[in-house]
Amino acid sequence: MTRNVRLESNAILPDRELRLFLEGLDGEGAVVNFTGLARPRSSDGEEVTGLFLDHYPGMTQTSLERIASESLVRFSGLKVTVVHRIGAVVAGEPIVFVAAAALHRREAFEAAQYVMDRLKTEAVFWKREDRAGGSSWIEPTAHDLSRLGK
């Protein structure tokens, strides 16, 4: 399978995901994998206890599949997997796992970067940061949006 996309309501286990991905390879010479963690501090330095990822079933899955599919068009011979958490995520836990395999390392690195950049702004999620003093919903930064043009 060249593309695997999954929404996960339980903990993501990056080592397990990587092993499964490697088992599905067929002659690729380079694998890049990325694990994003729920940060324990907000941008203003306040302690964050966790994140809540709200999603729109169907629409969210479609948004991830579109990004993965378009990465296959952009990078020839690519295999890609995207696993994304939904629901409550404790600070420090994985929130997303992306792996990209290609014949050579440059394509694998670039594909993983491409998928992550698009996930950061186009994936259909609404994230709430939970802190000891209250919660707040997160919107994309100008930096996230500017990376899309690269």
> How many residues line the site for another protein (CB under 8 A)?
26
DSSP structural state of residue 119: H
Compute the radius of gyration of the chain from its Cα atoms. Answer: 16
Minimum Å gap between C-beta 127 and another protein is: 4
Stretch that binds another protein, among 16-24, 40-48, 101-109, 138-146 (CB under 8 A): 138-146
Tokens of 10: 């339980």
Residue 39 as a binder of another protein (CB under 8 A): the answer is: no
Residue 43 as a binder of another protein (CB under 8 A): the answer is: no
- Partners of 6 in the β-ladder: 83
- Run of H or E residues at 24: none
Residue 59 as a binder of another protein (CB under 8 A): the answer is: yes
Residue 62 as a binder of another protein (CB under 8 A): the answer is: yes
Tokens of 72: 């296959």
